[in-house]
Amino acid sequence: MTYYHDVARAPADPAAAVDHGFDDVSRGISGWLLLDYTTLRGKFVSPGTGRLVLRGSEGSEVPAAEAARSLGRPVLPGTGIKGAVRTVFEVLTGSCDPTRRGCNSCAACRLFGALGRRGRLGFDDAVGQEVTEGAERVPIPFKPRKPADGIRLYDLGPALLQTGARVEEKLVREVFRGTFRGRMAFHHATPGELGLVLLALGWDGGGVPFPLRLGGVRFHGEGAASVSVAGAFLAGESLHRERLEAADAQTRATEWAHEAHERLGPKARAVLAEVARVVQERRS
């Protein structure tokens, strides 16, 4: 198979590490960012539920992999968003290195949480705002080898065989196209931490934009969404509270992202550029 790429994690960098641990919650920013996730032109997302439904007209129904909904509305599950963002965050900060002992105290674990430890950041389900629903035939999923270190990333090209031929599309999945909105909530996070999360989201205000990969069929070039900041509510150490509309929230988020980018070492910046290159690649 020729449609996935291994990206090695950056070395652990004290300059980019989280500033405090699980129990030090005496400082930092609490609140939430309102985020919009918009599918790329010509692409769809298909966050699966593990269940099958019948799609099609009466008498010609076909079983399809069900896509996630809440109260009947299409959603991008917050757990999936958190996992996708954490994966890139780990690579940028050299966190959760499987070759290093005690990784449950690394930068990612201290912010996102670890076994027996609640994190300081999470994502709500993103609910569809302007979404069209449909069904598409896609390749049957496969299990590629996992890298010993680093992560596996998929580009925006279709799944191909080693011969270069396109993989036959046999499986029907429910799919969504459009914009979803959800909150990223956090407590006692530093601007640097929040900036690193924004970089991991691929937000274009961070200066290194790339689509966030979500839901199923990532191996087939789908499951890609651009992220934008649509608002914020913030409370600082002095308990001063701010509610920011989109423009002001984007300005604040840009400051955080630029601060985080400046704190990344050269190798971590190179990894960020490689993540963006791979995820944006479109093969003919």
Dump pLDDT digits (tens) for 138-162. Answer: 998 877 677 766 788 889 998 888 7
Pick the residue with more confidence: 207 or 283?
A: 207
8 A C-beta contact, residue 281 and residue 4: no
Task: Report pLDDT for 106.
Answer: 85
Q: How far is CA 148 from the centre of its chain?
A: 21
Percent of the chain with pLDDT over 90: 55
pLDDT recorded at residue 144: 67
| Mean pLDDT, residues 184-203 taken together | 95
Segment 87-146, tens digit of pLDDT: 999 999 888 865 565 555 788 998 999 888 889 999 999 999 989 999 999 998 877 677
Sign of the Cα pseudo-torsion (269, 33, 46, 203, in order):
negative
| Burial class, 64, CB count within 10 angstroms (exposed 0-12 / middle 13-18 / buried 19+) | buried
C-alpha closest to that of 38 among 227, 208, 223: 227
Helix (H) or strand (E) holding 234: strand 224-235
Residue 207: pLDDT band by 50, 70, 90 thresholds? confident
pLDDT for the residue numbered 38: 97
What is the distance between the alpha carbons of residues 232 and 247, in angstroms, rounded to a whole number?
Answer: 10
pLDDT winner (highest mean) among 25-39, 177-191, 229-243, 270-284: 177-191
The predicted pLDDT at position 236 comes to: 79
Residue 208 makes CB contacts below 8 A (sequence gap 6+) with 199, 202, 261, 272, 273, 276
CA gap 3, 46 in Å, rounded: 19
Question: Percent of the chain having pLDDT more than 70?
Answer: 88
